[in-house]
Amino acid sequence: LKTIFKAQSIVLTINAIGGLFLTSTFLESANFTVTADMITLGQFLGMTFLWLAVLSWRIPDIAGDAFNNLGKLFALGSFLWFLIISA
- Measured between alpha carbons, how far is 51 from 60 in angstroms, rounded to an integer? 15
Residue pair 4/62 in contact by the 8 Å Cβ criterion? no
Closest by Cα among 64, 78, 84 to 9? 78
7-50 residue pLDDT tens: 989 999 999 999 999 999 989 988 899 999 999 999 999 999 99
What is the pTM (predicted TM-score) of this model? 0.80
Structure confidence at residue 70 as a pLDDT band (50, 70, 90): confident
